[in-house]
Amino acid sequence: MAEEAIKLGGKRKSTFLDKVKEILPDGGNLNLCLTCGACSSGCPATGLADMDPRKFLRMAALGMDEEVTKSPWVWMCTGCQRCIYVCPMKIDIPQLVYEARATWPREERPKGILGSCDMALRNDSGSAMGTSEDDFKFVVEDVLEEYQEAQPEFKDMQAPIDKQGAEFFLNQNSREPVTEPDEMPPLWKILHLVGADWTYGSKGWGGENYCMFLADNDSWEHVTRIAAKQADDLGCKVFLNTE
């Protein structure tokens, strides 16, 4: 046999594209592709794993469900949405990618993202590092004290946790309190200088949400609901998502 050509089944079997179209507002414009390649020109993942967004969408449109959903490329898309921005037809490729991720058995999804999501599910912090509420509290107080002493112009600066009735609920990438605590104060300083009334939550302070990148809807929702409930319980008006 000569070179293996791409084979299309006799019967149109594309269920994947149709399924995704059903759940996207206006069908996500998925059937309007002009094949112009603008998406691929701007995509940071073009060329990885022999794939690019145009090819991905074309294969889905041709009903190559297996090849599309199984491609490791779905884990290389950064979800940046550049492709939507430049696409003349506003086609929502990252959502297609997301649904492809969701077809993978959970335990076969990439270890790093999977582990981070599982970590976030261990306690109510939402932290992908698994940092506990107490550890977070300790680090924040410790760092705050240090800055109040070393920089007298910020001696009144606060970094409250669970302050009832604060206007803003702030979350925090949880890598920072663990590995780069000095990354936290710059934002505190800005909030202090503008006189913002804000608070962290002892629950739901972890801002990253790897369960979203894992395409694990239930866990994503779980992590998000904890943070949202904490903000509501504290009576905060605005949720400042720093991630």
Partner 1 sequence: MSTKNKKVMVVGGGIAGLTAAWELSRFNIDVELIEKTPFLGGYAIQYCCKATDECRQCGACTVEAMLKNVVNEPKIKVHLATDVEKINNSGRFSVDLKKSSYQPVSATEGVIRGYSKNNSPLHVIVDKEKCEENPDAVPEGAVELDTMGFSGKLDVDAVILASGFQPFDAEQKGTYGYKKFPNVVTGMDLERIIRENATVVRPSDGKAAQKIAFIQCVGSRDENLGNLWCSQVCCPYALRMAETIKHKNADAEISIFYMDIQNVGKNYAEFYEKCKTDFRFVRNIPVDVFPMENDSLSMRYMNEEDGLCINEEFDLLVLSVGIMPGPDNNDLSGIFDVGLNEDGFFAGIDKLNSTSTLKGGIFLAGTVAGPKDIAASMAHAGQAASEVIKHLGVS
DSSP H helices in 24-172: 38-42, 53-61, 65-70, 82-86, 93-102, 111-122, 133-150
Q: Considering only 83-91, 102-110, 118-126, 185-193, which stretch makes contact with partner 1 by CB under 8 A?
A: 83-91
Nearer to ligand SF4, 9 or 44 (CB): 44
CB 128 within 8 A of CB 210: yes
CB 65 within 8 A of CB 74: no
Q: How far is the CB of 74 from partner 1 (least distance, A)?
A: 16
32 binds partner 1 (CB under 8 A): yes
Strand order in the sheet with 198-199: 198-199, 168-170, 238-240
Cα pseudo-dihedral 70, 71, 72, 77, rounded to 10: -120
Q: Is the torsion defined by CA of 216, 72, 11, 28 positive or negative?
A: positive
64 binds ligand SF4 (CB under 6 A): no
Taking the C-alpha atoms of residue 14 and residue 64, their distance in angstroms, rounded to an integer, is 7
Q: Which of residues 71-100 bind ligand SF4 (CB under 6 A)?
A: 77-83, 87-89, 91, 93-94, 97
CB 25 within 8 A of CB 91: no
Q: How far is the CB of 40 from partner 1 (least distance, A)?
A: 4
41 binds partner 1 (CB under 8 A): yes
Q: Considering only 32-40, 116-124, 153-161, 199-207, which stretch makes contact with partner 1 by CB under 8 A?
A: 32-40
Q: How far is the CB of 95 from ligand SF4 (least distance, A)?
A: 9
61 binds partner 1 (CB under 8 A): no
- Residue (of 179, 200, 184, 178) closest to 146 by Cα position: 184
CB 95 within 8 A of CB 16: no
Single residue of 24, 27, 29, 239 touching partner 1 by CB under 8 A: 29
Binding residues with ligand SF4: total (CB under 6 A): 27
Single residue of 20, 39, 214, 227 touching ligand SF4 by CB under 6 A: 39
- Residue (of 58, 15, 18, 16) closest to 34 by Cα position: 58
47 binds, among partner 1, ligand SF4, none (CB under 5 to 8 A by kind): partner 1
Binding residues (CB under 6 A) for ligand SF4: these are 33-39, 43-45, 53-54, 57, 77-83, 87-89, 91, 93-94, 97
Where do contacts with partner 1 occur on this chain (CB under 8 A)?
29, 32, 34-38, 40-43, 46-47, 50-52, 54-55, 86-90
